[in-house]
Chains A and B, each alone.
Chain A
Amino acid sequence: MKQKDLLQQMCDYALEVSLRKGAQHARIAAISNTAHELSVLNDTIDTIQKSVDSSLMINLFVEGRYGTCSTNKADPAGIDKLLDDAIASVRLLAPDPFRKLVPADLRYKGVPLYSAHRGSVDTEVKKAFLSGCAASIWGKDPALISVTAGYSDYRRWLHLADSDGLSCTSENTWYSLSVECAVRGRGDTRPSDWDYEGGIKPEDIGIGSPGIPCRCAASALERALAKRNPRKIGSGRYQVIVENRVAATLLSPMIDAISGSSLQQQNSFLLDKLGKSIASPALTLIDSPCLRGSPGYRFFDSEGLATAKRTVIETGRLNMFFLSTYYALKMQMPVTISAPSLLLLKAGKGNAATFAGLIKNGIFVTGFNGGNCNTATGDFSYGIEGFKVENGQITYPVNEMVMTGNMLDLWNRLLAAGDDALKTMSWQIPSLVFDTIEFAGL
Chain B
Amino acid sequence: MDLTTAIDMDSNKLLNLALRKGGDYADLYFEQNTFHSIVLRDGEVNAAATDNEGGLGIRVVSGQNTGYAYTESSLPRDREEAARTASHIAQGLIRTSKPVQIATMNLPDRYRILKPWEDFSPQDKMPFLYDLNDRIFSADKRVKKVTARLSDSTSRIEIYNSLGIHCTDVRPLASLSVTCVMESNGQRESASASRSFRMGGEFLHPDLIRELAQEIITRTSFLFGAKQPHGGEMPVVMAAGGSGILLHEAIGHAFEADFARKKVSIFSDMMGKRVCNPGITVIDDGTIPGNRGSLNVDDEGVPGQKTYMVTDGILTSFLHDRISARYFQSEPTGNGRRESFRYMPMPRMRATYMDNGRDTEETLIASVKKGLYVDTFSNGQVQIGAGDFTFYVKSGYLIENGKLTQPIKDTNIIGNGPEALARITGVTRNCLIDDGAWTCGKEQSCAVSCGMPSVLVSSLTVGGRV
- B210 CB–A CB distance under 8 Å: no
Tell me, yes or no, whether A191 is within 8 Å of chain B by CB. yes
B69, B342, B412 — most chain A CB neighbours (10 Å): B412
State whether the Cβ of A385 lies closer than 8 Å to any Cβ in chain B. Answer: yes
| Interface contact A381-B190, CB-CB below 8 Å | no
**A154 vs chain B, min Cβ distance (A):** 13
Q: Given A188-B418, A236-B466, A404-B463, A67 and B47 touching (CB < 8 A)? A: yes
CB <8 Å contact, B464 and A123: no
Assess the B179–A191 pair: CB atoms within 8 A. Answer: no
Give the one of A48, A78, A185, A381 with max B CB within 10 A: A381
Query: How far is A119 from B249 in the complex, measured between Cα atoms in Å?
Result: 43
Whether B400 sits at the interface, judged by CB under 8 Å, is: no
- A252 to B263: give the CA distance in the assembly, Å: 33
Indicate if A311 sits at the interface (CB-CB under 8 A): no
Contact of B47 among A47, A49, A93, A374 (CB under 8 A): A93
Question: In whole angstroms, how far apart are the Cα atoms of A401 and B232 in the complex?
Answer: 9
Contact B68 A47 (CB under 8 A): yes
Contacts of B268 in A (CB 8 A): 188, 190
Q: Which of B102-133 contact A (CB under 8 A)?
A: 121-123, 126
Residues of chain B within 8 A (CB-CB) of A266 are: 144-145, 181, 183, 188
C-alpha spacing A78/B46, complex, angstroms: 25
Q: Which one, A69, A123, A371, A381, contacts B50 given CB within 8 A?
A: A69
Most buried by B among A49, A70, A191, A370: A370
Contact B48 A71 (CB under 8 A): no
Task: Tell which of B190, B344, B379, B387 touches A370, judged by Cβ atoms closer than 8 Å.
Answer: B379
Q: Do B68 and A49 touch across chains, with their CB atoms under 8 A apart?
A: yes
- Interface residue stretch chosen among A6-14, A51-59, A201-209: A51-59
Q: A419 contacts the other chain (Cβ, under 8 Å)?
A: no
Of B196-204, B358-366, B388-396, B425-433, the segment with at least 4 beta carbons within 8 Å of chain A is: B388-396
Q: Which of B54, B71, B181 contacts A265 (CB 8 A)?
A: B181
Q: Are B70 and A51 in contact (CB under 8 A)?
A: yes
Indicate if the CB atoms of B390 and A371 lie closer than 8 Å.
Answer: yes
B72 adjacent to A94 (CB under 8 Å): no
Which residue of chain B has its CB nearest to the CB of A232? B461
Contact of A377 among B122, B189, B391, B416 (CB under 8 A): B189
Contact of A96 with B44 at beta-carbon distance under 8 Å, contacts A145-B263, A442-B233 already known? yes
Q: Are B264 and A381 in contact (CB under 8 A)?
A: no
* Distance to closest chain A CB from B139 (angstroms): 18
B121 touches A89 (CB 8 A): yes
A325 to B262 alpha-carbon distance, docked (Å): 48
- The docked-state distance in angstroms from the alpha carbon of A230 to that of B461 is 15
Asked if A341 is an interface residue, CB under 8 A from chain B, the answer is: no
When C-beta atoms are compared, the residue in chain B nearest to A271 turns out to be B188
Is A421 on the interface with B (CB-CB < 8 A)? no
Q: Are A72 and B54 in contact (CB under 8 A)?
A: yes
**A182 and B263 form a contact (CB under 8 A):** yes
Residue B381 CB within 8 A of the other chain: yes
Check B266 for interface membership: any CB of A closer than 8 A: yes
Specify the chain B residue showing the minimal Cβ separation from A95: B46
A44 located at the interface, meaning its Cβ lies under 8 Å from any Cβ of chain B in the complex: yes
Is there contact, CB below 8 Å, between A46 and B231? Answer: no
Do A235 and B231 form a contact, CB below 8 Å, given A48-B88, A145-B263, A404-B411? yes
- Asked whether B54 lies within 8 Å of A73 as measured between CB atoms, the reply is yes
- In angstroms, Cα B52 to Cα A82, docked, is 8
CB 8 Å contact bits of A168-212 with B (1 = contact, 0 = none) = 000000000000001001001111100000000000000000000
A50 touches B466 (CB 8 A): no
B-facing mask of A295-325, CB < 8 A → 1, else 0?
0000000000000000000000000000000
Q: Check B51 against A69 for contact (C-beta < 8 Å).
A: yes
Contact partners of A382 in chain B: CB under 8 A? 412, 463
One of A106-114, A157-165, A284-292, A433-441 at the interface: A433-441
Cβ of A166 under 8 Å from chain B = no
Indicate if A17 sits at the interface (CB-CB under 8 A).
no
The answer to whether B53 has its CB under 8 Å from any CB of chain A is yes
Most buried by A among B86, B386, B415: B386
Q: Does B378 contact A (CB under 8 A)?
A: yes
Residues of chain B touching chain A, judged by Cβ–Cβ distance below 8 Å, are 36, 38, 41, 44-55, 64-72, 82, 85-86, 88-89, 121-123, 126, 144-145, 147, 179, 181, 183, 188-190, 228, 231-233, 249, 262-270, 342, 344, 378-381, 383-392, 409-416, 418, 461-466
Q: Contact residues of A with B, CB < 8 Å?
A: 41, 44-55, 65-73, 78, 82, 85-86, 88-90, 92-96, 99, 123, 145-146, 148, 182, 185, 188-192, 227, 230, 232, 235-237, 265-267, 271, 369-372, 374-377, 379-383, 385, 399-404, 438-442
17 residue pairs of the A-B complex, CB under 8 angstroms, read: A45-B65, A48-B66, A51-B70, A67-B49, A93-B46, A123-B88, A182-B262, A188-B269, A266-B144, A370-B389, A370-B414, A371-B392, A372-B410, A374-B190, A376-B189, A385-B383, A402-B231
